[in-house]
Amino acid sequence: MKRLLITGAAGNVGKMARERLAHLADTIRLSDIAPMDPAGPNEEVIQCDLADYDAVNQLVQGCDGILHLGGVSVERTYDLIESGNLRGVHNLYEAARANGMPRIVFASSNHTIGYYPQDQRLTTDMPTRPDGWYGISKVFGEAVAQMYHAKFGQETALVRIGSCFERPVDRRMMATWFSYDDFCSLMERIFAVPKLGCPVIWGVSANTCGWWDNSHVNWLGWSPKDNSETYREEVEKLPPRPADAPDVLWQGGMFTADPIFKD
Amino acid sequence: MKRLLITGAAGNVGKMARERLAHLADTIRLSDIAPMDPAGPNEEVIQCDLADYDAVNQLVQGCDGILHLGGVSVERTYDLIESGNLRGVHNLYEAARANGMPRIVFASSNHTIGYYPQDQRLTTDMPTRPDGWYGISKVFGEAVAQMYHAKFGQETALVRIGSCFERPVDRRMMATWFSYDDFCSLMERIFAVPKLGCPVIWGVSANTCGWWDNSHVNWLGWSPKDNSETYREEVEKLPPRPADAPDVLWQGGMFTADPIFKD
Amino acid sequence: MKRLLITGAAGNVGKMARERLAHLADTIRLSDIAPMDPAGPNEEVIQCDLADYDAVNQLVQGCDGILHLGGVSVERTYDLIESGNLRGVHNLYEAARANGMPRIVFASSNHTIGYYPQDQRLTTDMPTRPDGWYGISKVFGEAVAQMYHAKFGQETALVRIGSCFERPVDRRMMATWFSYDDFCSLMERIFAVPKLGCPVIWGVSANTCGWWDNSHVNWLGWSPKDNSETYREEVEKLPPRPADAPDVLWQGGMFTADPIFKD
Amino acid sequence: MKRLLITGAAGNVGKMARERLAHLADTIRLSDIAPMDPAGPNEEVIQCDLADYDAVNQLVQGCDGILHLGGVSVERTYDLIESGNLRGVHNLYEAARANGMPRIVFASSNHTIGYYPQDQRLTTDMPTRPDGWYGISKVFGEAVAQMYHAKFGQETALVRIGSCFERPVDRRMMATWFSYDDFCSLMERIFAVPKLGCPVIWGVSANTCGWWDNSHVNWLGWSPKDNSETYREEVEKLPPRPADAPDVLWQGGMFTADPIFKD
Amino acid sequence: MKRLLITGAAGNVGKMARERLAHLADTIRLSDIAPMDPAGPNEEVIQCDLADYDAVNQLVQGCDGILHLGGVSVERTYDLIESGNLRGVHNLYEAARANGMPRIVFASSNHTIGYYPQDQRLTTDMPTRPDGWYGISKVFGEAVAQMYHAKFGQETALVRIGSCFERPVDRRMMATWFSYDDFCSLMERIFAVPKLGCPVIWGVSANTCGWWDNSHVNWLGWSPKDNSETYREEVEKLPPRPADAPDVLWQGGMFTADPIFKD
Amino acid sequence: MKRLLITGAAGNVGKMARERLAHLADTIRLSDIAPMDPAGPNEEVIQCDLADYDAVNQLVQGCDGILHLGGVSVERTYDLIESGNLRGVHNLYEAARANGMPRIVFASSNHTIGYYPQDQRLTTDMPTRPDGWYGISKVFGEAVAQMYHAKFGQETALVRIGSCFERPVDRRMMATWFSYDDFCSLMERIFAVPKLGCPVIWGVSANTCGWWDNSHVNWLGWSPKDNSETYREEVEKLPPRPADAPDVLWQGGMFTADPIFKD
């Protein structure tokens, strides 16, 4: 690619992506509503509010790939979610349409299906069950991407990210952990295949105790290498969880216990 | 019921519901952003913008049932849809939660699945394929209802309305027609069953050439009586449609050909 | 048939069958552990404990069809169920094997699947979910029939009877009602088809709000004619049931609330 | 239509179609390898061997619809089947491609699935199980039609005809009977819909004891009206069939017992 | 665990479990109807007839886990099966209910599905097909566990054991072999997870030629390590089996050929 | 085996099989319509036109296994395909039936399903979608094998070969590559199992980006060892393909772009 835009570049996943995905394009354009580290070589840094269409339109100009990590990434007030994850997604897709429809990775989330119990194996064609307003906003984002694909041919990888951390740090992450290496190899495949379409992909490593079946995207040629079992001993040292705790019952974990935030 | 709120009461379906569903409650409270006919006996008429939370909260107070027809009902600008169908739905569900969680009928739409071809039979557990921003907003609304059901127990019937008209007036409506009688008998069953949950229901009459399988909600005890075949002769007098017309290819019909509206 | 054995002939369904199925065979042999009315023309009446193999063996001799309604038909102590529904079924199948393998109708029950919620549509290839020891004994009986079919070719119709009454007398029966006429026409078809195999059949009328899909046995040529909707007005006069009542939640109704009986 | 070609017009179904489908086109062109009755008004009669490409090409010229009943219609030698049903189908589709791709009805057969047992309900997406060389030739014909549809857009209705007779005349036909009225109403719908594609359709009336699920083509707007039950009494007077007879075991009936014919 | 009860401790699997699972609890309580080796350190040995409720009740007291290997483990007379596997299971579950509902592993069997052909891949939601009275008793046991789970919340792992031996010793075991190591690692996971529910699990190693799909219990975090291919060379030295032998045709192997035992 | 017949022995796969499968039988009989290398030790070489029944009959005599690679293996004229792949297959199966029904491997092809898109995962029970006359002839061959199995018990492995080459030489082969080693190990298992039946098997290596699910034939005990990823670097050096190229869109690749060949 000539220029890859990474939104949400001030967040943890964004920072990791900045570090590790530089080889994917001649220039990496980084954006966030929050301040970021200054631009290094082959980098452009642009602070931008996703709710501002003109700003987003400028941001997207000249990019031939977008890794959209931007917006709210946990349960927040409706106002914040509307701004970053509803209007923000609208703006991003309209800007993409106006600028040659660069391929997009949309960071969707396991919170689109958070209300499935942890003993159920999921495929991506099962109905969504969001666990809060954040999860709803990701259902919305997936719907936007699919509509732009059907109507205009815009391609998006809808990656339902599990828990993208250096290592699993609680019991639920034994199932949901998405290692940095596996994240990056997935990005490589998404931008490498000649035709992407608009698939939903579980963003998760090859965890023995995982819940999600990715066999429908074998054609991508992606095979995650990491397995949370490496860390089981360590994780099992954590205090045990009661059988009726939200993070034992539901795939979405503690998000299911979140209230509706008012501010 | 003591008091049934009907939103969107100035629209065509709203007017019909006002006329025919009076027997469902002691009082019918009617609401729209547009002006409505003055209140008749056992009626209350309250003009209200769904985007205004306080107004919606007051609207919902004292109601033990809601027929939510309000909001934008065709393809419009994102701004209008955000106001009526995103924020509006947020406000309605928050108001319902604050007011005893009256049972809700949410007027969803066939435009949640508009990009399925017309020769495919659908069940409600198949993935959505919205055909525009309006359809996206209905996917959003379904997600909101399901989250409030899972988290708080709020009950909603998600009725994906086909074409609710006096009679089918074009060829596509032979499949999608939802007669007024069948609409009303469905409303009766939804408010009669002791436990509703949050099912998706195809809002469609018993049309021979229909696309949608409602057998999963047989338990409701609803059986539509009307069949568009009654009107086939009449409809077939209309000029034929080319084989590649959007209203011949897609279940969502001409909505799939709508552009993104800017104003 | 020359001689049809009806077990459980002192029960309600047994009495009805005695009255209405006389035309199915030259002789009807009636049996129960309880006393029955004396034999009429073309009838034989034999009191018999199903737990006594020799008695059962004699009972089955000379019969070319068996309608097995015998055994315990509601939740009872394990001892009673073991005697009538476990050992009793063993005895019946061993006696059938010793006596030319007459075709059997086994009165199974909706209590084999009682723990499915009332808003789920069932096919007969879904796993069982018995709602008590009675339901367990019917799962057992179905397993016995299937083993005798696979191993010896014994044919059985496994009829999961809903509520076989003159008319539906509570709200749950709106879904489960199995009219006497429909029961009898099913028996006729079961004994008429040249090859039966060992199918599971929902014993239920054509109720609009029914839960069970019988399309897999269309080949039998049976089409139930009655519909509980005929009685809706009457049934809806009964006091309403709370949304969390066992007979609102579960297909097995109040059986799910039964304790384990000790005597 | 301007001109409808009916091949196999000297056969029983062909004669019936000649009589009853005259209203579908200004001109009916009739063809067979065997002699036919002379042309009536609005008719053209052309004797033609399907194995002769040039003849078939001429036959198809000027037609905007084809009802292809021609070729061998029962189990015969491989030579005859190759000539009429393999090469013949090749010739028909090449001729159609050369002549504007008129919409085709291909008379496929239940003998494509003859080795399914009679107690199994079938959908058209289940694998074929032909019961002889005739059935194989119909699997071949379906494959030809599907390839021409995928590659060139040629539309065909693949009608798997059950038993197209005036009335059911044996027990198996209780399931497979396809009445003349239902045949004709299906033809009308096939030629009326603006877009056909290449669906497989069970050619069967609304028989209570039927084996085949046509719900996937509800969109056609066809609803068969006849039911073999009308004739049950009459049919049941026939001598009973043993439980292991081919016409009791298999959907293909006696065809499964046919040998490989050598001349 | 404080105290793990192992029933059937005098059998082969029981002895192996005694040896290898000592680390799972402070105390291992061992029980069988047959004599066992005397108690070692941290062991309790109690001879007990499962058909005696009071004895079973005492056995279960003070246990917080049960590995139920007890009862008849091959085809036997109905009397023996009733005593050990019907009444015995009743007694165990009633005793568990009376004593705080310790988590149970129920040794179910592949003979619950023995009449599936060896070329079919199975999931646990397919209907059972028991291959004899032993298999029926295991269907019964699974039903008991599921009822106690639905009604009382009792948790059980229903492990359908294949062939739990030191190594595969015949050709069928190439598919069904369940190594001691894999057995033990499964037990560890079953007692480790905070919430178990009542899943059916195939008790089988990671055999290349296995028939059973365990992906639905990936969430357990169990991954079997052994593969019967290690022993193929050795096993293939055994005399070949005819293509129509019961142990070539059926998953249940020679059990399908067992008669009904009378003593 | 005593004698294994390999047809199509002059082709690439045939030559490889000749070299590597010599250990499968005492004698390898090699046949082709084209000249072959002279017979080595334990070899018989017989030139033969598959369209000549008497020649085929002689060819099959004395063989207890057949690897049928013969006939046309790419898109050709209908005449050539009829001769080699329709009549040729007829002759082979009639000869097999006349000569003790030796077990057959039928080289079917991915071109039976060539019109599935490359982002769809396939199981063998999905409908065929041939991509040309060659693919149609393979659908025909599979149907022939299945009919001979159902009617006469003839066993065949229907191996839908992907791309059987020394290594993947284009991007599509990353998914379809079938290594020589994996081909040979599959042949070994097919001729080793005591009962084969007539399964469809994907002939493909363990490629990460493969499209085809072979889990239904796990029971064979075959596990392919090679993975095209070994060659990814090399293959990715090839010039990229446009997103709408036939070999990017369709599983059948460039065959979908072939015209109907006339000579």
Q: Is the pTM of this model over 0.95?
A: yes
What pLDDT, on a 0 to 100 scale, did the predictor assign at position C240?
Answer: 92
Write the pLDDT tens digit of every residue in C202-211.
999 999 999 9
What is the rounded average pLDDT for all residues in chain D? 98
Angle subtended at Cα E188 by Cα E185 and Cα E191, rounded to the nearest 5 degrees:
150
Residue C176 at interface with chain E, using a CB cutoff of 8 Å: no
Stretches in chain A below the pLDDT threshold 50:
none
Write the pLDDT tens digit of every residue in E222-241.
999 999 999 999 999 999 99
Chain A residue numbers touching B125 (CB-CB < 8 A): 126-127
Chain F residue numbers touching E210 (CB-CB < 8 A): 218-219
E221 CA: distance to closest CA in chain A (Å) = 4
Determine, for residues A215 and F242 on separate chains, whether the beta-carbon distance falls below 8 Å: no
Q: What string of pLDDT tens digits covers the 263 residues of chain D?
A: 999 999 999 999 999 999 999 999 999 999 999 999 999 999 999 999 999 999 999 999 999 999 999 999 999 999 999 999 999 999 999 999 999 999 999 999 999 999 999 999 999 999 999 999 999 999 999 999 999 999 999 999 999 999 999 999 999 999 999 999 999 999 999 999 999 999 999 999 999 999 999 999 999 999 999 999 999 999 999 999 999 999 999 999 999 999 999 97
Q: Is F165 exposed, middle or buried (0-12, 13-18, 19+ CB in 10 A)?
A: middle
Average pLDDT over every residue of C170-197: 98
Q: Do chains D and B meet with 3 or more Cβ pairs nearer than 8 Å?
A: yes
For residue A212, CA distances in Å to A123, A125, A215, C1, E219 come to 6, 11, 9, 56, 10
Chains D, F: CB pairs < 8 Å = 84
What pLDDT, on a 0 to 100 scale, did the predictor assign at position C74?
Answer: 96
Cα–Cα distance between A147 and A124 in angstroms, integer? 17
pLDDT band at E180 (very low <50, low <70, confident <90, very high): very high
What pLDDT, on a 0 to 100 scale, did the predictor assign at position E263?
Answer: 78
Q: Do chains A and D meet with 3 or more Cβ pairs nearer than 8 Å?
A: no
Average pLDDT over every residue of E41-63: 98
Which regions of chain E does DSSP assign to beta strands (E)? 3-7, 27-32, 43-47, 65-68, 103-109, 156-161, 200-203
D49 CA: distance to closest CA in chain F (Å) = 17
Q: Which of D90, D115, D136 sits opposite F144 (nearest CB)?
A: D136
CB-side exposure of A150: number of CA atoms within 13 Å? Answer: 29
Strand F156-161 and strand F103-109: the pairing is: parallel
Residue D100 at interface with chain B, using a CB cutoff of 8 Å: no
What pLDDT, on a 0 to 100 scale, did the predictor assign at position B263?
Answer: 78
Q: Is pLDDT above 90 for E162?
A: yes
Residue F243 at interface with chain A, using a CB cutoff of 8 Å: yes
What pLDDT, on a 0 to 100 scale, did the predictor assign at position D256?
Answer: 98
Q: What size, in residues, is chain C?
A: 263
Determine, for residues A118 and E219 on separate chains, whether the beta-carbon distance falls below 8 Å: yes
Q: Which residue has the tokens 């040292």?
A: A237
Chain D residue numbers touching B121 (CB-CB < 8 A): 215-216, 218-219
Residue A117 at interface with chain F, using a CB cutoff of 8 Å: no
Residue C40 at interface with chain D, using a CB cutoff of 8 Å: no
Q: Do chains C and A meet with 3 or more Cβ pairs nearer than 8 Å?
A: no
CB F231 within 8 A of CB F167: yes
Q: Which of E97, E130, E144 sits opposite C146 (nearest CB)?
A: E130
Q: Which of C87, C136, C147 sits opposite E136 (nearest CB)?
A: C147
What is the rounded average pLDDT for all residues in chain E? 98
Structure tokens at D83: 């000539």
Chain A residue numbers touching E221 (CB-CB < 8 A): 174, 208-209, 229, 232
Give me the average pLDDT of each 10-residue run along chain F (263 residues).
98 98 98 98 98 98 98 97 98 98 98 98 98 98 98 98 98 98 98 98 98 98 98 96 96 98 89
What pLDDT, on a 0 to 100 scale, did the predictor assign at position D263?
Answer: 78
pLDDT band at B229 (very low <50, low <70, confident <90, very high): very high
What pLDDT, on a 0 to 100 scale, did the predictor assign at position B211?
Answer: 98
Determine, for residues E209 and F216 on separate chains, whether the beta-carbon distance falls below 8 Å: no
Domains present along chain A, CATH in parentheses: 3-257 (3.40.50.720)
Q: At what angle do helices A88-98 and A53-60 cross, to 10 degrees?
A: 40
For residue E161, CA distances in Å to E84, E173, E177, E209 come to 18, 12, 9, 16
Q: Which of F120, F174, F249 sits opposite A221 (nearest CB)?
A: F174
Q: Is the dihedral of CA A28, A34, A35, A36 positive or negative?
A: negative
Residue C197 at interface with chain D, using a CB cutoff of 8 Å: yes
Chain E residue numbers touching A214 (CB-CB < 8 A): none
For residue A187, CA distances in Å to A145, A205, B152 come to 17, 13, 37
What pLDDT, on a 0 to 100 scale, did the predictor assign at position A263?
Answer: 78
Residue E128 at interface with chain C, using a CB cutoff of 8 Å: yes
Write out the H or E segment, with its range, that includes residue A16.
helix A12-20
* Closest to F65 measured CA to CA, from F20, F14, F105: F105
What is the rounded average pLDDT for all residues in chain C? 98
Determine, for residues E208 and F216 on separate chains, whether the beta-carbon distance falls below 8 Å: no
Write the pLDDT tens digit of every residue in B152-180.
999 999 999 999 999 999 999 999 999 99
Q: F interface mutation test: which of D76, D146, D255 has the most F CBs within 10 A?
A: D146
CB F169 within 8 A of CB F5: no
C218 CA: distance to closest CA in chain D (Å) = 5
Average pLDDT over every residue of E186-190: 98
What pLDDT, on a 0 to 100 scale, did the predictor assign at position C193?
Answer: 97
Sheet of E65-68, strands arranged across: E43-47, E27-32, E3-7, E65-68, E103-109, E156-161, E200-203
Subunits next to F (3 or more Cβ pairs <8 Å) are: A, D, E
Subunits next to C (3 or more Cβ pairs <8 Å) are: B, D, E
Q: Is pLDDT above 90 for C263?
A: no
Q: E interface mutation test: which of C123, C146, C255 has the most E CBs within 10 A?
A: C146
Cα–Cα distance between E87 and E63 in angstroms, integer? 21
